[in-house]
Amino acid sequence: MNLKIIYLALEMRIFKAIVIIIACNFTQPLFAQLGFCAGNSGSPIFSEDFGTGTANGPALPAGTTTYTYVNGAPNDGSYTITSSTAGYFDWFNIQDHTPDDISGKAFIVNASFTPGEFYRRTITGLCENTSYEFSSWLLNLHPRSGAGCPGNGIPVNVKFQILDSTGTNILAEGDTGDIEDKTTAEWGQYALLFTTVPGQTSVILKMINNGSGGCGNDLAIDDIVFRSCGDLITLSDTTNETSIYACEDDGPVSTTINATPDFSIFTTHFYQWQESTDAINWTDIPGETTDTYTTPLVNTDSYYRVKVSEDLINISNDLCNVISEVFEIILVPTPNPPNNIGDVRICENIENGILTVRVPPGIIVNWYDAPTGGTLLESNNSSYTTDTAGTYYAEAVPTLAICPSDTRTPVTLEFYPLPVVTDEELFFCENTNITLEAKVTGVNYEWNTGETTANITVSQPGTYTVEVTDPRGCSNIKTILLNQIDLPVIDEVISTDLDISISTLNEGEFEFSLDGVNFQDDPIFFDIPGGVYTISLRNNSSCGIVTQEYFHLVVPKFFTPNGDNINDVFKIDGIDSTPDYEINLYDRYGKLLKSSYNAPLQWDGRYNNRELPSGDYWYSIRIEDKVIKGHVSLKR
């Protein structure tokens, strides 16, 4: 062994001994606050998880606690060992803390009215001048605002103590402080650190109740652990990597690993490297006792770590050394290409196609546009979404290293065409039916009327749609805008002198006729002799004819009895078309000048063979039960 290293180690041990002697001359013991090992911990020297099973117990060995064991819910000053607290007062029904336990048990304590020891355990075989960590998991069993205690219960408060083997000298102690009620059960871990002095190989661990008994201060204890504490030892290779993940196909791997302590606990360091094939079972590597280690060429997963102690004599004693982090060399196998779960064929009106492959856990998928090389389209996704038809290629890559599959899996996206439809605008005549046609064959039909035939017959205007679906499930929608051609509706027919004017209540491209044969676009007929006419109207799309009988009566507004044979007499044209009529003429004073009953009337402006002067004369025309009155001007 290097004499310089031995010399330095002896110097440090002498220095520690002097410090401890000086400390022991003080009247008060050394105390420490609770805290965890800031470096690496060694393997557990002692652990207690209180076992498993559904039955309570067994009781702790004599001398382990000052509390009394009961087989059920403990009262103040008693305890039980159980996997369930169901029915225990208003406490939480908890599970123990130990990971992966089935019916795991915990140490259940109902605190005494006076402080007392929950737990005592003697630990032997320790190493002198070595730091240790004593820890335990605690849980306040009382729920906040529980039914058993008005308000909140008395908080849990526990003192951790380390005493020498005589049980009289306190080496270290610390309090958890108040652990208050919670709304849900919460385990919390607490720890105490201390360092053994020269010649000290055993200690007594204690957990003491600081709080008072009564309503509250009820707790569960689990997973008590005592282990060594040393520097944090980090492992890294020459490139500062803390592990190596290499592709299996790249061949054997070797590297040099450096161990770096943080000097938080130890002042000197002695090493023993270890190796493992499963990171569980470890063996020492003969002769590897420095802070560096060069691995052999390995072609299987290999794990390396180093044991470290402050004194050489402790390097082989697992009660006294600590263990570094683990350096992994993982040889990652080339994965199989992804499993294609099916090419995708979808209708072209679906916006995107989703291509999917399946890979095992620990494998990611990258998508490319070519079987080799090509452009990376998407990474780390077992699905790829695109709106472009074609073949895409999925490559499997382990998450640990870039070791892509030897081949890529092709996945094809194909878009099916939709059934071809043509929208239409159609017209039909009022009071008729029309047949609407999908005009697509070999498909299923669904009209917005609820009908499922290729054609439907309707009689109302509006918008009609039919969804046609082919055997592949692809659908398209045809829209038919159906317009109704309205028949003309006659509003009134008016005679103005010899002219006949026709008006309608609705608008349209109408044609007009007085005989049902000859039609014109103009609704006014000029210079039409009096008489009875059949007014006919039709739409120019041949949707039918609307007719109305009309009596065209031509009553002149004036006449000029001057003997020129032009408009010399007053006569009413067309009145003889009706069998029942009567005509009476009056002067301005209401004197009857002339009358006629069911016979044409002609008046030359005379009364008793005497010419009447120019002026207005009044007439009354009765046609059946209708009376028409007006006046005519006599002009000389």
Co-location of 223 and 237 in the same domain: no
Same domain, 614 and 481: no
Can you spell out the DSSP letters for 289-327?
A: -SSEEEPPPBSS-EEEEEEEESSGGGTT-TTT-EE-PPE
Q: Is the pLDDT of residue 532 over 80?
A: yes
State the pTM of this model.
0.55
Share of the chain above pLDDT 90, in %: 73
Tell me the mean pLDDT in the region 620-627: 91
Picking from 204, 220, 182, 9, the residue whose alpha carbon sits closest to that of residue 95 is: 220
Residue 108 sits in the same domain as residue 192? yes
CB-CB neighbours of 182 under 10 Å: 15
Is residue 326 situated within a structural domain? yes
pLDDT of residue 22: 31
Q: Do residue 117 and residue 166 come from a single domain?
A: yes
Band of residue 33 on the pLDDT scale cut at 50, 70, 90: low
User: What is the number of structural domains in the chain?
Assistant: 6
Same domain, 213 and 298: no
Same-domain check for residues 129 and 61: yes
Average pLDDT over residues 599-620: 92
Average pLDDT over residues 606-618: 93
In a shared domain, residues 598 and 617: yes
The two beta strands, 363-368 and 390-398, are antiparallel
Answer whether residue 504 is part of any domain: yes
Of 416, 451, 466, which residue sits at a domain end? 416
Count how many Cα atoms sit within 13 Å of the Cα of residue 344 in the half-sphere of its side chain. 23
CATH number at residue 300: 2.60.40.10
383-401 mean pLDDT: 96
- Under 8 Å between Cβ of 247 and 197: no
With respect to residue 572, please indicate whether it lies within any of the assigned structural domains. Answer: yes
Q: Which residue has the tokens 């077992």?
A: 382
Residue 316 has pLDDT above 60, yes or no: yes
23 occurs within a structural domain: no
Q: How many residues does the chain have?
A: 636
- 354-380: per-residue pLDDT in tens? 999 999 999 999 999 999 999 999 999
Do 58 and 156 sit in the same domain of this protein? Answer: yes
Tell me the average pLDDT across 27-31: 34
Q: Please report whether residue 391 resides in a domain.
A: yes
pLDDT tens digits for range 180-237: 999 999 999 999 998 888 888 899 999 999 877 778 889 999 999 999 898 999 999 9
The CA-based dihedral angle spanning residues 24, 27, 33, 39, taken in that order and rounded to the nearest 10 degrees:
-10
288 part of a folded domain? yes
> Percentage of the chain surpassing pLDDT 70?
95
Mean pLDDT along residues 479-495 = 93
Q: Which of 309, 332, 355 is the last residue of a domain?
A: 332
For the cut 70, the answer to whether the pLDDT of residue 600 exceeds it is yes
Q: Are residues 478 and 494 in the same domain?
A: no
Q: List residues bridging with 484 in a β-sheet.
A: 428
Last residue of a domain, one of 552, 579, 603: 552
pLDDT at 43: 80
List, for residues 258-267, the tens digit of each pLDDT value.
Answer: 999 999 888 8
Contact 616, 633 (CB under 8 A): yes
Q: What is the CATH number of the domain that holds 211?
A: 2.60.120.260
491: which 2 tokens?
A: 């509003």
For residues 382 and 359, the answer to whether their CB atoms sit within 8 Å is yes
Q: Based on the fold, state whether residues 348 and 239 are members of the same structural domain.
A: no
Q: Is the pLDDT of residue 299 over 60?
A: yes
DSSP state of 349: T
Contacts 24+ apart (CB under 8 A), 608-614: 611/561, 611/636, 612/587
Other C-beta atoms closer than 10 Å to the C-beta of 580 total 10
Q: Which has more pLDDT, 316 or 189? A: 189
Whether the predicted pLDDT of 24 surpasses 80: no
pLDDT at 32 over 80: no
Q: What are phi and psi of 272, to 5 degrees?
A: -145, 115
CA distance 536 to 504: 12
Note whether 399 and 364 are within 8 A (CB). Answer: yes
Residues 39 and 179 in one domain: yes
Q: Is residue 4 part of a domain?
A: no
Which is it for the CA torsion 87, 91, 97, 100, positive or negative?
A: positive
Is the domain of 62 the same as that of 165? Answer: yes
**Domain that includes residue 358, residue range:** 339-416
Residue 31's pLDDT band, with cuts at 50, 70 and 90, is very low
**Does any domain span residue 3?**
no
Percentages of the chain per state (helix, strand, coil), in multiples of 5: 5, 45, 50
Binned at pLDDT 50, 70 and 90, residue 16 comes out as very low
pLDDT for res 578: 87
DSSP state of 20: H
